[in-house]
Amino acid sequence: MLSFSSILRFHVLFLILYTLQLDFSSTTATTPTKIGNGYRLISIEESPDGGIVGLLQVNRKNNIYGPDIPLLQLYVKHETGNRLRVHITDAEKKRWEVPYDLLPRESPPALKQTVGGSRNNAHISTAAADYPGTELIFSYKANPFSFSVIRKSSGDTLFDTRSDDSDPYSDLVFKDQYIEFSTKLPKDASLYGLGENTQPHGIKLYPNDPYTLYTTDISAINLNADLYGSHPVYMDLRNHGGAAAAHGVLLLNSNGMDVFYRGTSLTYKVIGGVVDLYFFAGASPLAVVDQYTALIGRPAAMPYWAFGFHQCRWGYHNLSVVEDVVESYKKAKIPLDVIWNDDDHMDIHKDFTLNPKNYPRPKLLEFLEKIHARGMKYIVIIDPGIGVNTSYGVYQRGVANDVFIKYQGKPFLAQVWPGAVNFPDFLNPRTVEWWGDEIRRFHELVPVDGLWIDMNEASNFCNGLCTLPAGRICPNGTGPGWICCLDCKNITKTRWDDPPYKINASGTQVPIGYKTIATSANHYNGVLEYDAHSIYGFSQTVATHRGLRALEGKRPFILSRSTYVGSGHYAAHWTGDNKGTWADLKYSIPTMLNFGIFGIPMVGSDICGFYPAPTEELCNRWIELGAFYPFSRDHANFYSPRQELYQWKSVAISARNALGMRYKLLPYIYTLSYEAHMTGAPIARPLFFTFTNETRLYGLSTQFLLGSSLMVSPVLDKAKTKVHALFPPGTWYNIFDMAKVIVSKESHYRALHAPLHVINVHLYQNAIIPMQRGGLISKEAKATPFTLVVSFPLGATVGESKGNLFVDDDEIPEMGLGNGRSTYVDFYAKVSRGTVKVWSDVQESKFALEKGLVVEKVIVLGLKGFGTAVEIEVDGNEEVVDASKIEMSSIEHEIVEEREDERENDEMKNVMVEVRGLELPIGKKFVVSWKMGIEG
């Protein structure tokens, strides 16, 4: 849920800034070009763990942004064959880092423990040398100290910190509250990442756009601003002579930072912490994400129902409205799996409570029993701010357990929806235990199926150090809840509240404590909010995940607004408060794709927009697109008119079409979620993830892939009934009408028909995707028989295709094999010598056999000829086929908008062949084959 005043304030502000075309590069004009004089390497040797460790001494001090730290410890290690770490910190004093228990990883050597301490270690040249690994080489020079990271196989320099006289950036600068370093970049490098922000130019980083990383409660309608999450990671994709290679770079630092991308260089300006760089060798985009999530944590296992459709609204004033919404979806025959409550269910906005009048517990439990029996789920919101109220049990227990963030020894007072609040300190182990206990108590009150954690940047309606005067009611109910009603005074005179370098916070360089927790406040063990600010939402996510896991041993579902590196290991994300505009519809695609790179594949935007009211046409187009977001939810603002999908007859038609296909594709999407959980692979991906050598795709932000093979090409503009879609080379089949096919010999655009209720989704060649019959609830859909759709290049007489399927008991916490409650199947298909063959290889068949899952149909696309006499084997035994059950038919493919140079003079027809009535057990290996009637 939003801070509504923030939306209005920042929307107006950004319209002004955007109109004036103020760009981030202007900030550099007010700061010295060369801030520091660099460091020199004075000693270096091998560390006991196989890395290298050295000492850096400042060349010449200055006091710009504070004094330089005189001695730094350098630690470098090839942690794996494809991951290199470069860690630089104060050699004499421990500095803030992202806690190792919150984000587990290897620890660097203790300060001053190895350098000069052991004469047994081999000393390395302090002039210049290389430290090679399997895939990457760390190369350094001594004075001024600089380093580069080189790809071993190609010699390509991936990261280069040298600063020449002509460069607009310094050598390494390391001060207590200001760190700066840079890398040179080739002009043709394509960069992605560095979020969370709304990027108007699409998914590729755009030179001189602002990239500020600091978790902030300003809505997603604001362009080029630091939003709810902080992800200081980027992917660099380069193409030399048609051969592409990607690598990734993570700066693991939670302090506020500006990143200046100039096209030929990238400069980090960070206001604290350490330099902790991780380099991921790739070399494919998928490999980069695999290596990245291997470090930060694989994406969370999601329950099957989470991939169904979700409906939410801030403003479901009572339970009867929620009941009506559920029944209206059912009556309209629009799929719905999950119904949500924003804070309407709460007692005066207080976490873990029920409004006794509008959401009486007996009636709510009756409602939940009804929808649970149907297979539906229920999720509610909780905010981190705990209302200061001596009669409120959650607050009382929080005080008793001393769980709140402090300012000068007292709980820091802020204001959010309940009025005066204190913020739990999730870095405190006692807080984590208390939070888990509150989740347990609430679940006993209301058996919710997941939790939605919001406002966790953390958001505060007030600024500074505040008090609640005796006798004052805050809020008093006479004005908007987001107007500060506490007595507050400015506390920006400390160096933590007013650091020497001003990051571009909120796009306007407001104080970094603006509308959040004062950055001089203290967490557990004296940790400053200044350092820990951007991990607040992440720490709450970890605590919430732990609490949910302890409930019933079920797989948790958490949706979090604020995210950090590693959040995807625990939670899904929605992109915050987007507007119901055509521009925001477009922005939703690159934002979604970025979060796939960040290791948070379960992501989507508020369908139809959070506010204001969308037009009917826009909502049609948005549900067509949103039906293919990994996380698909309609969500609206308190002040907007109702926009459930059944509110317009036309939108209901589009919803039944698009969501109907989504529910048929749920086994494919769920299998992609398993792949994400095992390897980090995004569910929704840019096209270049599959077609990495196609440079025309590097900036494409209006289309995307689900997995490697299913391309979504939505209408994103008003009053359009055609969409110009870019098709990479190969054969593409319309998933809604598989007889229709597009063939590309090279990447080029095609104009596709897209009337109001149509979205174009195409399946690529050489794939096998599992589908089911669909349904109105995922529980029903997942019990229906399967269809295997096999795609070959059009007119194939020789070819191979493959795909897979993962099925499990999706309520169990762990997602994987070896638990007796899951089955994994590889599917293969081959056409050769006039024969078509489709077969499977099964791992752990027990679960699928117990569930009675069967394949009822095989559809093969792109064949050159029909065929007869289907032969079937199951577990190596030839089945006796009842000819009355097996049906085989074919339909001639229709080549859509065929270009002249693609026509073939061939009398043989290209056909899709459908084999029905199979009843093949998913849990057994099978072979289906037939002759096409031609010789290959």
| pLDDT, tens digit (0-9, with 9 covering 90-100), for 892-918 | 999 986 443 444 445 568 999 999 999
Tell whether the model's pLDDT for residue 592 goes beyond 80: yes
- CA–chain centroid gap for 284, Å, is 19
Count other C-beta atoms under 10 Å from residue 327's C-beta.
10
Is the confidence at residue 432, as pLDDT, over 70?
yes
CA distances in angstroms from 286 to 6, 705, 834, listed in the order given: 37, 13, 35
d(CA 541, CA 387): 20
Tens-digit pLDDT profile for residues 659-714: 999 999 999 999 999 999 999 999 999 999 999 999 999 999 999 999 999 999 99
Please give the positions annotated as active site: 454, 457, 577
Q: Is residue 472 predicted with pLDDT exceeding 60?
A: yes
User: What is the token pair recorded at 21?
Assistant: 């075309």
DSSP 25: G
**Mean pLDDT calculated for residue range 803-816:** 96
Q: What is the pLDDT of residue 869?
A: 82
Cis (ω within 30 of 0) for the bond into 232? Answer: no
Specify the DSSP class assigned to residue 720.
-
Distance, in Å, from the CA atom of 831 to the CA atom of 791, rounded to the nearest integer, reads 11
Residue 881: the pLDDT is 53
* Predicted local distance difference test score (pLDDT) of residue 7: 44
At 418, the amino acid letter reads P
So what's the pLDDT on residue 312?
Answer: 98
Please state, in angstroms and rounded to a whole number, the distance separating the CA atoms of residues 408 and 66: 25
Residue 94 has pLDDT above 50, yes or no: yes
| Burial classification of residue 754, based on how many CB atoms lie within 10 Å of its CB (0-12 exposed, 13-18 middle, 19 or more buried) | buried
- Give counts: helices (H), strands (E), the chain: 14, 53
CA-closest candidate to residue 299, choices 289, 288, 310: 289
The conformation of residue 331, written as its DSSP 8-state character, comes to H
Q: The dihedral of CA 631, 220, 28, 251: what is its sign?
A: negative
Secondary structure class of 591 (helix, strand, coil): helix
Q: How far is it, in rounded angstroms, from Cα 265 to Cα 186?
A: 8
769 residue type, one letter: I
* Residues 125, 141: Cα–Cα separation, whole Å: 10
State how beta strands 558-560 and 450-453 pair: parallel
**Cis check: omega of the bond before 751, within 30 degrees of 0:** no
Planar angle of CA 595, 597, 600, nearest 5 degrees: 45
CA-nearest of 864, 882, 870, 888 to 926 is 870
Interatomic CA distance for residues 794 and 338, integer angstroms: 40
Over range 195-202, report the average pLDDT: 94
Peptide bond into 92 cis (omega under 30): no
User: Measured between alpha carbons, how far is 215 from 233 in angstroms, rounded to an integer?
Assistant: 15
pLDDT of amino acid 627: 98
Q: How far apart are CA 589 and CA 599, in angstroms?
A: 16
Angstrom distance (rounded) from CA 124 to CA 131: 10
Mean pLDDT computed over every residue of the chain: 93
- In the chain, the amino acid numbered 751 is A
Residue 452 dihedral angles phi and psi, to the nearest 5°: -115, 110
CA angle 761, 762, 766 (to 5 degrees): 150
Q: How high is the pLDDT of residue 1?
A: 55
Question: Going along 214-305, which residue ranges are E strands?
Answer: 231-240, 243-251, 257-261, 265-270, 275-280
> How high is the pLDDT of residue 906?
52
The residue ranges of DSSP E strands in 627-785, in sequence order, are 632-634, 684-685, 704-706, 710-713, 722-727, 730-734, 740-744, 748-753, 760-764, 767-772
Is residue 517 within 8 A of residue 411, CB to CB? The reply is no
pLDDT of residue 10 exceeding 70, the answer is no
CB 769 within 8 A of CB 803: yes
pLDDT of the residue at 639 = 86
CA angle 355, 360, 365 (to 5 degrees): 120
- Beta-sheet strands, E only, within 119-172: 128-132, 136-141, 146-151, 157-160
Q: Which range among 14-23, 472-481, 752-761 shows the weakest confidence by mean pLDDT?
A: 14-23
Torsional class of 50: left (φ above 0), alpha (ψ -120 to 50), beta (otherwise): left
Reply yes or no on whether the pLDDT at 729 is more than 60: yes
pLDDT digits (tens, 9 = 90+) for 203-237: 999 999 999 999 999 988 888 889 999 999 999 99
More reliable by pLDDT, 623 or 934? 623
pLDDT higher than 50, residue 16: no
Residues in the chain: 936
Q: What confidence score (pLDDT) does residue 908 get?
A: 64
Vertex 134, ends 133 and 137: CA angle to 5°? 40
Band of residue 883 on the pLDDT scale cut at 50, 70, 90: low
As a whole-number percent, the residues of the chain with pLDDT over 70 amount to 93
- Inter-helix orientation angle 536-552/429-445, to 10°: 50
In 3D space, the residue among 667, 706, 672 whose CA is nearest the CA of residue 784 turns out to be 667
pLDDT digits (tens, 9 = 90+) for 104-162: 999 999 986 544 444 345 677 888 899 999 999 999 999 999 999 999 999 999 999 99
Joined tokens for residue 459: 């958001």
Residue 879, burial from CB neighbour count under 10 angstroms (0-12, 13-18, 19+): middle
Between helix 616-626 and helix 649-664 the angle, nearest 10°, is 0
Of the candidates 454, 426, 682, 423, the residue with the CA atom closest to the CA atom of residue 562: 454
**Percentage of the chain modeled with pLDDT above 90:** 86
Cβ pair 340, 380 in contact under 8 A: yes
User: What is the number of other CB atoms lying within 10 angstroms of the CB of residue 639?
Assistant: 11
Phi, psi (deg, nearest 5) at residue 660: -60, -40
- Find, among 522, 459, 458, the residue nearest to 494 by Cα: 522
Confidence category of residue 882, pLDDT binned at 50, 70, 90:
low
pLDDT bracket for residue 264 (50, 70, 90): very high
